[in-house]
Every structure is written in structure tokens, then in C-alpha cells.
Structure 1
């Protein structure tokens, strides 16, 4: 039987989430991947194959807040209490376009996952962490975005959802610090993943023109290396920290 602290990673079957899952698994964590894909979907099967016997998979639609208690009950019954929540799952703007043309249904779709569903999952995980402390360091790590503070008018609903998620992280940090639960806001920049695939040529040009001081795309593994010390509690007194993971993109420059 595998042992070690348990990390729940939403959207852990691909991209940034999978990069984080691999890093945590190497650091001794057991990882539970959660997404709305069927367990036999190719990304889910491939992720479990890569991660081996330290990983398991549970299907859940982040927007379905009524299903959260049942999801956590199943995870706890199978693996025990959750020590680390990596709140990574998110959706982009459904349609990129003029801010003045945004439709309410597209706004609601983005918010239902990136803000509403994300909040209520974290709320329930935090409640259970307090009720059953366990022995390992406990943490909530929100993967937000540089879009929490950098404007893209063609995807305004995404920016607003990530700004809200950044405030969510601060709220949880202030509420949970006294319970010994670390909360962190990790803000990726331009990361090579499925979400950026359709605009890769645009970002290639912009990075080539000096947009990112590091001169390259970010990779999911970059995020994984940052998350490990947070989840292990090595930065516990930095509770509430906002950590840019963007190669210097968000540094104000003249």
C-alpha cells in the first residue's frame, strides 16, 4: 500500500495540473486527480499510466457544487483525509472578443467553474481539514493566473474570474492561518498547455519580441517545482503569499 500525504488536484489529468501531480508524486505524495472527463478518457488513462500506483482518478464537474460532499466522501473512504488541495481546474473565455460583446451565458459559464465551483470545493475541503487535522501539513494552493492583475480585454470574464480567485485565496489564508492551514496563490504566466495551444503562434511572436524576460514559454514542470515546497510546509510562515510563475512577465517595466 502506498503511503504519504494526500493531494487532491483538480484538472490534474493534463497540463499544469499533471505537471504538479508528477512533482508531488516524486516528493512522496499520493495524488487524486479530479476532472469532468470519464475515467476511460485518453487523458485520464494516460495520466494514471504516467503517475503509477501513487495516483487515482475521480470524475467530478467543478461547476456542480451539490456533488462536492459526495466526491469528498468517496475520496476519503478510499484514501483517507486530504492534506493538500491544488485548485487548478479552470476554463478560458468561451469566446474571445470585444468586451462590449460579451454574452451573459458565456460570463456565467466561466464563473461557474473558475470562481463559484472553485470556492465551494475549497470551502468543503477546509471544513474537513479543520474537523480532522491529521498529522501532515495541510494546504490550499490556488492556481490563478497573471490575468488576476493583467488585463486582456478580449477575455474579460476570464480575467475577472481569476481576480476573484486571487481574492478568494487571500480570504482563505486569513481565515485558516490560525488553524495551521497554508494558503497560497500561484499565478502562471504563458504556459505551454492545451489552453494556450490555439494562440501559440501569437505568444511565440510576443515572447520572441521580449514580452517574457526569461525568453521562453513556461512549462507545467516549472509549476510543479514551485508547488512542492508549498505543499510540504517549507514556506508555512509565508501564508497568503502570491507567487508569480511567469518568467518575469508581470514585472512592471519601462
Structure 2
């Protein structure tokens, strides 16, 4: 079914036109989610490749429909450092596939079961990541995963081309967003405390305001950053340089 979608006359050209037509990052993320759905993938992720000294994946993710629980567990289990997918993306421009049900995962023994259990729990046993880069040469990737079989040759070709185009388009849209963005002091404070893992209730206590006021700040941040949830809001803020590991107290 997914393969038939890719081979449908005009599918790739229509995707190309529709990606060119998006006006902000939020529209682009919606387009990416639709592509994943068209090809029967449960999840997608857009990320910049972590530095070798990075310890957490969350600041590297620009957009994803991964659950907050998955992201939190991934970083709590410290799975980034030995990630075979990230290692593969650093070494080659060839798409990096994984299949936990047949190949397991190439990790140190003490991490292997934890990684397999985590991604199986979230119904992501198979997937593929496409290395990308923006106009500055900064490297990243777009990944698709789920319960479906690994992509066919036709699907791989389509996803590879589209991933490159989406990543390039995102660079342009994020640049436009950063130039126009104006945040209040309170919004920046909410960003920092949210990135530190504080709930809205905890942010309200720290800032000395009502929880409904914090909810208003978060809603405003999501709107200004074209984010669909708090996790995406934080990721975009990292990418735009509004927050960093230093000012949120992460090392």
C-alpha cells in the first residue's frame, strides 16, 4: 500500500510543490507528518547531529512526534553516546536503517536490552534515517520509524530526495522565524524552566504567578515558535539560540 503511494503518478512532484508552498515551520511539520502517514510510518523526527560531547538527544531534535515519555527515557538511560544510528549518520551519507526484531542493536551489552525494550514499547521496531545538511553545511537527519517493514527501493529514493528538500526548506523558514521573533522576559523565563523539565505548575511557583498565566505564556510561545507542543517548543528554542545547555543548567 505504501509502495503504491510512492509509485502513484505525480506523488513526488506534488510533494515537491507542496513543500515549496509552506509558509512557516508548523506547516512543514504537518507536511512531514502527512508523509509519514502516507507511507505507514508511526513516527518521524528531524534533528541536527549531536556533537560528540552531547549527552542528551532532546536539544538536538527540531521536530518530532516522539512522545515526551520516549524522549525522557532515552536521555535518562543515556542512550545517545553509543547510538549506532547517530554513529552511522556521522560516517556516511547513505541512509541508515535499523530493525530491532531481526538485527537487534549494535550497542554495549548493558545498553542493548534497554534500547530494544524502549523502542519496542513505543512501537518503533524498524526505521530509516536520511542524512541531510543545510546551506551552512550543518549536518542533520530526518528519520521515519514504526511497525511497518523497511522501505522498498522506490520508497527509499522518494524519502531520500524529499528529506533533503524538507531540511533545506526548514533552514530557510527557521531563518525567517528568528529574524521576526520577539519574546518577553517572562516567555524566556518559561522557556528556560520548561527546558529544565519543570511542569507548568512548578514554573508558576518559581515565577510567582498563577498557573493559568504560565499556560498563557506557553500558548504564546507555541504560537510564536510555530510549535505543536512543549517538547517541540523547547527544541525550536534551542535551534534558534533562545536557550542553550549553559543557560538551562545542562552540561
TM-score range, shorter chain: under 0.3
What is the TM-score of this pair, normalised by structure 1? 0.26
Mark the structure with the bigger radius of gyration.
2
What is the TM-score of this pair, normalised by structure 2? 0.26
